[in-house]
Amino acid sequence: MRNRLVNLFTAIFIKEWISLKRYPFNTISAVVTVYLVFLLFFLGYRLIGGQEAPFSSTTEGFIVGFFIWTYSIAAYSALSWGIVQEARQGTLEQLYMTPLGYERVAIYTVIANFVWSLVWVLPVLVLMMVTTGRFLHFDLITLVPLLILTIASGYGIGFITGGLGLVFKKIQAFFQILQFIFVGFIVAPADTIPLLKILPFSLGTRMIARNMIEKLPIYQMPAFDILVLVVNAVFYLLVGFFVFKLCEKVAKDRGLLGHY
Amino acid sequence: MQILQCEDLTKIYKTKKKKIHAVDHISFSINRGELVGLLGPNGAGKTTTIKSLCRLINPTSGSIVIDGTDVIRHPRTAFEKIAAVLEGNRNVYWRMSTKENLRLFAGLQGYSSRQVKTKMDGLIDLFGLRDKINTEARFLSRGMQQKLAIACALIKNTDILFLDEPTLGLDVEATYEVRRLLKEKIASEGKTILLSSHNMGVVEDVCRRVIIINHGKIVADEEIKRIKEFFQVNSYRFEVEGEINAGTQDEFTKRFLGVRFSSDKTRTEITIDLKDSMRIYEVLEILKEKGSKLLSIQNVEPDFEEIYLEMVRHEK
């Protein structure tokens, strides 16, 4: 069984890589678009007389926030648009027919996407640092787990919207609006209003910023915050998956898995 | 030995105003190694039936057992036994090459590329895809895409293959090629195949048994040979000199069922299905009355298409 799971994971991992490779225009345009939006905010804010950066007290904070926003969109799109796209192509039904379970396919897709997203998210981060001349601290031992826990809520939301997209075909306009709602979650002041820590991305962004800007390693961060971040990640993933399974049942009842 | 049992399968779609019985209490079974056609007009319930068998649609009621596994309760175990090509060329990844698609579908079944290497090579050769091994599916012809979709289902190495309209949208040559592959190669491997189509020719050519479905109900479930015998239809082709006028054509159409005409300027062929072969003399009488010069009479194979249409008409 273990070998079969490894084979399934390998197949999904390669599939995600091929999809990134075969849509070079999408990948490049994503990098360019995100970078232009960054410039628009950053330079625009300066032009109107702002001192440091929008949505943050420092330029470094703005870069971290933008980096998390980019990553969260990559994560969320992989599931929301990804599931709808598979249904439209007619391949979702084939994924469902694996004897190893669609749940595993979905989880492996999330892992593969998390890794492959770096291919275009990292260049955006480097571009932002070069543009602003502010270089952030990279401590992978702290950054990777925090990033996984922070972005997990994006996958949870992706499961919810992907599931809703299967049932309600006209929901796609909402997919784009949601990306901008993410900005609100990221800039929410979780350090001054503790209740905001339950929002997706909010606490994680603060913790990543403390690491990348203040060089604070994960083992020196408050244990309570780490616990809340873990609970937050698990909560959004579980709720997302639960809603997705509900939508999947409705889609199967209505015969919508392969309909678009 | 039965490999698939479908009992009292029902699928009702509820809309605000009404209930639609897409599949209405159908029962059938399929033996191991059998090639069965699921025939019916568009909207008859073929796709809903196949997708229910694959557990891609939740049936309203009924049971499906595949090789001893309850598909409704244990779909994953059933997926070890079944592969499906649904809606033709939409089943493969268009941005992936032939080889990449085959590897992915093997992976979905839990096989590594190494484990399926020999099988993959065999399928690539069998389906004539060797030259297109690195070509993205979107650049393949529709016929090639269809063959790739079938190859992707076959690489899963399952006992049962469901094919939903495998020749839909293909040109004549590609249709013939797919039919030939199904009949001569895949069937000879002992696979159990359930093939749905609204095309009688495909089913007649590939399958020995046919389940005719209309309005979600089974109209007939018989060997094709027996259905033909049941109707005891004898088709005769009368070849006469020159063209025949509209009045004569009307007379034939009024007096006989299943009359077809084809003509060029020098000769006309009149094909008529006759349940009672004694009525051949009536045909000759009309031809004599109209002064048509008879060139030949031939007893031809009954047209399965006509039989099928007749059955569906009766059901209505």
Q: Are residues B268 and B213 in the same domain?
A: no
User: CA B199 to CA B39: how far, in whole Å?
Assistant: 7
Q: Are residues B176 and B81 in the same domain?
A: yes
Tens-place pLDDT, residues B2-32: 999 999 999 999 888 888 999 999 999 999 9
State the pLDDT confidence band at A22, using cuts at 50, 70 and 90: confident
Partner residue opposite B57 with nearest CB, options A19, A90, A255: A255
Q: Are residues B95 and B241 in the same domain?
A: no
Q: Are residues B88 and B108 in the same domain?
A: yes
Q: Are residues B59 and B146 in the same domain?
A: yes
Partner residue opposite B58 with nearest CB, options A6, A101, A252: A252
The answer to whether A94 contacts B13, with C-beta atoms less than 8 Å apart, is: no
C-alpha distance from B297 to closest chain A C-alpha (Å) = 50
State the pLDDT confidence band at A21, using cuts at 50, 70 and 90: confident
Partner residue opposite A8 with nearest CB, options B13, B83, B110: B110
User: CA B258 to CA B25: how far, in whole Å?
Assistant: 32
Q: Which residues pair with B282 in a beta bridge?
A: none
Quote the ipTM score. Answer: 0.89
Q: Which of B187, B206, B229 is at the close of a domain? A: B229
Tens-place pLDDT, residues B217-231: 998 898 888 877 766
In terms of Cβ atoms closer than 10 Å to its own Cβ (0-12, 13-18, 19+), residue B219 is middle
Q: Are residues B236 and B225 in the same domain?
A: no
Q: How many CB pairs under 8 A join A and B?
A: 108
The answer to whether A98 contacts B109, with C-beta atoms less than 8 Å apart, is: yes
Closest to A157 (Cα-Cα) out of A110, A112, A227, A100: A110
The answer to whether A10 contacts B91, with C-beta atoms less than 8 Å apart, is: no
Q: Are A160 and A239 in contact (CB under 8 A)?
A: yes
Q: Which of B229, B244, B268 is at the close of a domain? A: B229
Tokens representing residue B303 in the block: 């047209």
Instruction: Supply the pLDDT for residue B246.
Output: 86
Tell me the mean pLDDT in the region A55-75: 86
CATH number of the domain within which B303 lies = 3.30.70.100
Domains held by chain B: number: 2
Instruction: Supply the pLDDT for residue B21.
Output: 93
Instruction: Supply the pLDDT for residue B233.
Output: 66
Q: Are residues B85 and B215 in the same domain?
A: yes
Range of the domain at B258: 231-314
Q: Are residues B188 and B212 in the same domain?
A: yes
Q: Are residues B153 and B293 in the same domain?
A: no
Q: Are residues B256 and B308 in the same domain?
A: yes
Which percentage of chain A shows pLDDT scores above 70?
A: 95
CA angle centred on A102, ends B123 and A72, rounded to 5°: 115
Q: Are residues B237 and B174 in the same domain?
A: no
Amino acid occupying residue B239: E
Q: Which of B195, B211, B229 is at the close of a domain? A: B229
Q: Quick one: closest CA in A to B13, which residue?
A: A254
Answer whether residue B313 shows pLDDT above 80: no
**Residue B51: its chain A contacts at CB < 8 A?**
93, 255, 257-258
User: CA A252 to CA B270: how far, in whole Å?
Assistant: 50
Instruction: Supply the pLDDT for residue B64.
Output: 97
Q: Are residues B216 and B239 in the same domain?
A: no
Partner residue opposite B108 with nearest CB, options A19, A22, A95: A95
CATH number of the domain within which B67 lies = 3.40.50.300
